Structure 1
Amino acid sequence: MKHRGHSYRNSVAGRSLETHAGIGGTSFVAHMRCSRCPCVGTRNLRAIMPPEHIDRKFLQAGWSLDPHTCPDCLKQASQERKTMSAKPSPTAMRAQAQMFTMLQTHFDTDKGAFAKEWSDDRVATETGLAKALVVEFRQTCFGELKEPDEVRALRSDISALETLARETNASFAAEIASLRTRLAAISSRWGA
């Protein structure tokens, strides 16, 4: 077997190979050093294999080759890519500017209400943006929707009437129970 071009035996590019004499024969341990952190991966071998086969063992263990990157660094790089936001296109930026202008013009932050015939749906439709994006932007930059005073007053009236109805029903039920008790007392004296 030729060892001349064997990258593990020659310790090339972060690769290395250890030989251990043992009772059952010689064993080999292939090492690969991560190019991003101090991690060194190991793979136990029964015999010296071609470098491509040893590389495949590291790939199966989750490593990336050329540059050598351990599974932890790959996971971290993947998470960093997910957290990076992509630059919006010029069309998206124009739509967002248009959304901002519409919200500024048609949303009263003090009242927490849109002008007549305006809503998150209409802003989303006119700008071509998702309604969820419009709602999130409005809530963050301009505020939450608030109930109009007349709706709040109606809710208060309904609540007061419901309370009055419960109290009245309880009063009627108590009066009916009292009348039944009186009836039962009179009926027992009369012999019915």
Structure 2
Amino acid sequence: MMFPRTGWTLLLLVFWTAGALEAPAQEVEIDTVPLASVRFLDREITLDVVSGMAQGLVSCEVGVNLDHVDLVASLDTPLPEGVRLLVRGESGLGPSLGSRELSGREDGRVTLVSSLARGHETGCLLTLTVLVEPGFDVLPLRRTLILSLYDPVAGSWAEARQTLLLGSPGAVASPGRR
């Protein structure tokens, strides 16, 4: 005797449903772990100062699953008088606050992009501009540029460090040169 195909499907559906009704209930708890990451995509940042100015682009990668996190920058040690570093951050995850001066003095932390949205981006760009006053001749300078994902309440979630070399064309800084 042949059963029509729809009859078997209905019969299997009845047996499957009956078995599902007898299964014990299970609770599942899912915890969301805060995650934030930032890293430089360039190995070393070198800006050669010509006629008192240098400019360069730096790529970085940002990932967050938190709300209200800012991308902030700082320097490990202050820049000497006569040298200014301006940094502008651009990200598709949040609004740029424009070009900001980064001196390394006082708190030294400067917000570049505020209120990042949740997501991941490999195309975050920093525009670095160095301005050197006439007569300043203590180049090259070596500093560490620090990028952080910062929450105003919880503090820093992630941090990346990269060597920043400010120099004259052809000049090489020794590791101890400040």
Output the TM-score relative to the length of structure 1: 0.20
Greater strand content: 2
Greater helix content: 1
Q: Which has the higher contact order (CA 8 A, sep 6+)?
A: 2
Output the TM-score relative to the length of structure 2: 0.21
Q: Which has the larger radius of gyration?
A: 1
